[in-house]
Amino acid sequence: MASPVRPAAAPGRRLLLSLAAGLAAPFPARAHPAGAAGEVTLLTGGAEGGPSDLWLRAFAPFLERHLPRHTVSVVNRPDATRAQLLAGIAAAPVNGRSLGYAVTPDIFVEPGKGRAPGLLRRLRLLGAVAEDPLALVAPPETSLAGLQREREPQTLALPPEGSTAALAAPMLQEHLPLVPLHFPSAAAARQATLSGNVSAALVRLSDAIAALQEGRLTALGLALAERCALLPETPILSERGIPLVASARRGFVLPAGTPDALAIPLATALAKVVADPEYVAQSNAAGILPAFLSEADWTRLVRQQLASLKL
C-alpha cells in the first residue's frame, strides 16, 4: 500500500531543519594540527566579508590559540534570519562543536514584534568577550548644546530596528529633539551623517571609530558609565544631562542543554582570549572594549537590559 503523502514543510521550517541538520552533520575534512582533538565552528548569519564575518575571522585565531588541540573556523549562514539562526543553534546537538555568534541585547528582540519568546531559556550564554558602547556622533560642526537648543526636531540616523542603538534611541529622545530614521545598516547611518543628510547618528563606537579618528565625525557623547580610554576627551552622555548607558555585548552561545564538561573549557578559553594583549590591541584599534562576562554575569545583564527596555 502506498505510504501517505506528508505535507511539505513551510519554507521557514525547512530552513530551520536544515540549520539544525547542518550543525549535527560532520564538518568537512580539514587538516588539523598535530595532536588536534577536533574542530570548533563559530556560526554567524552574516555574509562573508560583512562586519560580523570580519570580526569573527579576526577573533578565531585567538580562540584557537587558547583552546588547546582544537582548530577554529567560521561558517556563514547568510540565508537565515537572525531568529532562524538562533533557533537552529538552540535545536542543535549539545556536543560543544558549534558556537553561535551573538550580540546582546539585539538577539533577544524580534524587530517590530518585541522580545523573542523563550529564546533565553533555550540558549546558554557561554561568555561575552567584548563591549561595544553606543556613541552619539555628528558632523564636526555640530555640538550637543546646539542640538539641545533646536526648536524643530532633528533627524537621528539609526541602524535597523532591533539593534542596540535602535532599542536605546527612545531614551535619548527623552532628552533631545530627535526624530529617528532607520537605515539598512550602521554603515549607511554613518554615511548619511558624514554626508550631512541627518543631524546625528546613534551607532556602536566600532561603527564610527575610523571617522572619529580622522576628524570626519565628532563624538557628542558616549553611552558609558565612565569615560573611555580610547577617547578620553569625549564626555559620557550623563555629563551632559542624558543618563543613557548602553552597549552591545559580543559573545558566543550554545544550546541550553550543553553539559558543563563541554561548556566550561570553551568559556575558559574565551576568558583567556580577553586577557591576551594582542586581542586587546586589536579590539581597541577597532573601537571595541575587550571585556569578559561569564555565563552568569552575561545572563544577569541581559535580563536587566530586557527589563529596562520593558521587553
Question: Residue 43 is part of a domain; what is its CATH number?
Answer: 3.40.190.150
Q: Which of 125, 133, 91, 130 is nearest to 108 (CA)?
A: 125
Question: Residue 228 is part of a domain; what is its CATH number?
Answer: 3.40.190.10
pLDDT at 1 over 80: no
Res. 258 pLDDT band, cuts 50 70 90: very high
Q: Which of 250, 248, 300 is nearest to 279 (CA)?
A: 250
pLDDT at 26 over 80: no
Q: Does a structural domain hold residue 23?
A: no
**pLDDT recorded at residue 2:** 41
Backbone φ/ψ region at 96: left (φ over 0), alpha (ψ -120 to 50), beta: left
Span 153-172, average pLDDT:
95
Question: What's the chain's average pLDDT?
Answer: 88
What does the alpha-carbon distance between residue 290 and residue 283 come to, in Å, rounded to a whole number? 6
- Shared domain for 126 and 169, answered yes or no, is no
Q: Does a structural domain hold residue 27?
A: no
Query: What percentage of the chain reaches a pLDDT higher than 90?
Result: 74
Residue with cell 562573508: 48
**pLDDT recorded at residue 230:** 94
Q: Does a structural domain hold residue 28?
A: no
**pLDDT recorded at residue 37:** 65
Least confident of 24-28, 47-51, 100-104, 164-168: 24-28
Res. 20 pLDDT band, cuts 50 70 90: very low
**pLDDT recorded at residue 105:** 94
Res. 126 pLDDT band, cuts 50 70 90: very high
- Shared domain for 166 and 298, answered yes or no, is no
Report pTM. 0.86
Specify the number of domains making up the chain: 2
**pLDDT recorded at residue 113:** 75
Span 84-90, average pLDDT:
89
- Shared domain for 108 and 195, answered yes or no, is no
- Shared domain for 202 and 212, answered yes or no, is yes
Q: Does a structural domain hold residue 98?
A: yes
pLDDT at 21 over 60: no
pLDDT at 18 over 80: no
What single-letter DSSP state applies at residue 67?
S
- Shared domain for 144 and 202, answered yes or no, is yes
- Shared domain for 234 and 162, answered yes or no, is yes
- Shared domain for 121 and 265, answered yes or no, is yes
Classify residue 249 as exposed, middle or buried by CB count within 10 Å of its CB (0-12, 13-18, 19+): buried
Degrees (nearest 5) of the Cα angle 209, 213, 215?
115
Query: What percentage of the chain reaches a pLDDT higher than 70?
Result: 88
> Tell me: the pLDDT tens digits for 276-301?
999 999 999 999 999 999 999 999 99
**pLDDT recorded at residue 5:** 39
- Shared domain for 162 and 89, answered yes or no, is no
Interstrand relation of 114-115 and 109-110 (parallel, antiparallel or unpaired): antiparallel
- Shared domain for 125 and 270, answered yes or no, is yes
- Shared domain for 193 and 53, answered yes or no, is no
Span 130-140, average pLDDT:
97
| Residue 74 · residue 41 · CB < 8 Å | yes
Domain that holds residue 43: 39-131+248-308
